[in-house]
Amino acid sequence: MTVDPVTLEVFRNGITTVSEEMNSTLIRSSYSPNIKERKDCSCAVFDADGELLAQAENIPVHLGAMPFSVAAALDAFPASSLEPGDGIVVNDPFHGGAHLPDVTLVSPVFVDGSVIAFVANRAHHADIGGTQASSIATDATTIYQEGLRIPPVQLSEGGDPNEDLLSVLLANVRTPTERRGDLRAQGAANDAGRRRFTDLVAEHGATTVTAAAEELKAYAERRMEAALEALPDGTYSFQDVIEDDGRGTTDLPVAVTVRIDGASVTVDFTGSAPQTTGPLNAVFAVTASATYYALRAVTDPEIPPNAGCYRPIDIVAPEGTIVNAEVPAAVVGGNLEVSQRVTDVVLGALADCVPERVPAAGQGTMNNVTFGGTDPETGAQYAFYETQGGGFGAHPTGDGLDGVHVHMSNTMNTPAEVLQTAYPLAVKRYELRPDSGGAGEYRGGLGLRRDIEVRGHQPTCSLLAERHRKRPYGLAGGAPGAPGRHFLIRDGETVELPAKTAMELEAGDIVSIQTPGGGGYGEPTARDTAAVRADVAAGKVSKAAAEQYYDVSVPDSE
């Protein structure tokens, strides 16, 4: 069946709306601040073969990896074995997942007794067990220490929850009520997706919807091929490092060679470090997700993000490396930190191909922070997890954004009011870091400082970050961004902390998270003098830095 362009565009917008309504439902009905406030979740729609059709544009590291979870779910439960109301849950990184806190729920959509599509969502649960609260085990050396590992299993059958599975899952987490609530929210999101997809079928007919789905994938494939053909053919390489794995191994290379040949591209990570002892290992799905994101950003972000869009992209990631780890590697930081470095190196390679399209490096880390313990007011266990924003890299036509989540995270922060209401914690300081953006004709975005105080109890805390030694790179003569730093403030004394650490805290302790700035773009002396003075007036650049890097004199009156 031929689908005319108008019908195809109506279908494309309709299917995207399905995924967006799913995402809104998940956020509104969730229990945890991590999903409700930070929006650490993603939703997507797949065809009857499990190929991606549309997604709500939320968390890049979720979205490129979710098709691997759907494929694993369908390998375990083929469409012919499913019934209306079934739901398959999975978080196993070695069976389609990314890291254990990201739990994916996959549900079939039935029309006239047959599966016509699948809807799926992925939500970051603030705790899934393991040795450390919030399941960010900075000291883990195997997957078994990181939390409850769930292969593809049925969470619901015919609309009825699998209470035996739920009882096992909830017995292994610190916050069972919150986990049950977030899982129910995931189910509600998929219910909304099923309803809206069947509405599309009722409006257009199953034959038209099926044909439009195939044509939409083919259209995205043609768009990506055309975008790749417009790039200069050639081989482009770049290398950066993961600073350390938290277990003593330092400077782990992440290397890439990008080969563009007409309408196709090969992204080869040969030369990357072998998988390491600590939890800084990424599974293939995470590496693929970061690669897809970087290529879409540089080619044409308006290409519909579906299975067809990714067909011209071939990814080579040697098994047993930090970009394609094997069992029993610890992987929680692979999803969080290695994904960021994969993005950095792919963009770095493409900067030699199309320099006018590529920004300098952003902060290059998610700045993961967790607290866990017993709330002194309620007596209940709590698990707080948050990523922190930082500087976005400057680009060929402008400054980088200040204090934002960069590339693979794209979440929000936890508002101070919510944090202080939901947890026995307090935000004592929250501000931009002056002089943290790399100098350049266009300045890198500023990092953040967020100081969190412990109130009335003795929790555990873990920190997992990067870019504390290796600063985010600048481009075209721009300076690198400032590195990140962590501090513990206790009884008026300040002690610097490692980028990856776990510790016991006392009541009144303050943990200060100071995030990296983005790299600058272009020679600093080419920056407009008025822009430098405006930055000084706004407190973003000090007078000393204005004179040192930009050769701009700022009178004391300014």
CA–CA distance, 256 with 259 (Å, rounded to integer):
10
pLDDT of residue 1: 65
CA–CA distance, 440 with 451 (Å, rounded to integer):
29
pLDDT of residue 36: 95
pLDDT of residue 62: 80
Of all residues in the chain, the percent with pLDDT exceeding 70 is: 99
pLDDT of residue 59: 81
pLDDT of residue 450: 98
Weakly modelled stretches of the chain, pLDDT under 50:
none
pLDDT of residue 64: 82
Reported as a single tens digit per residue, the pLDDT across 174-192 is 999 999 999 999 999 999 9
pLDDT of residue 557: 60
Please give the C-alpha separations between residue 243 and each of 183, 483, 500, in angstroms, as whole numbers.
35, 12, 10
Amino acid letter, 92: D
Long-range contact pairs involving 12-18 (C-beta distance under 8 Å, separation at least 24)? 12/54, 12/216, 12/304, 14/200, 15/45, 15/53, 15/54, 15/197, 15/200, 15/213, 15/216, 16/54, 16/55, 16/56, 17/196, 18/45, 18/54, 18/119, 18/193, 18/196, 18/197, 18/200
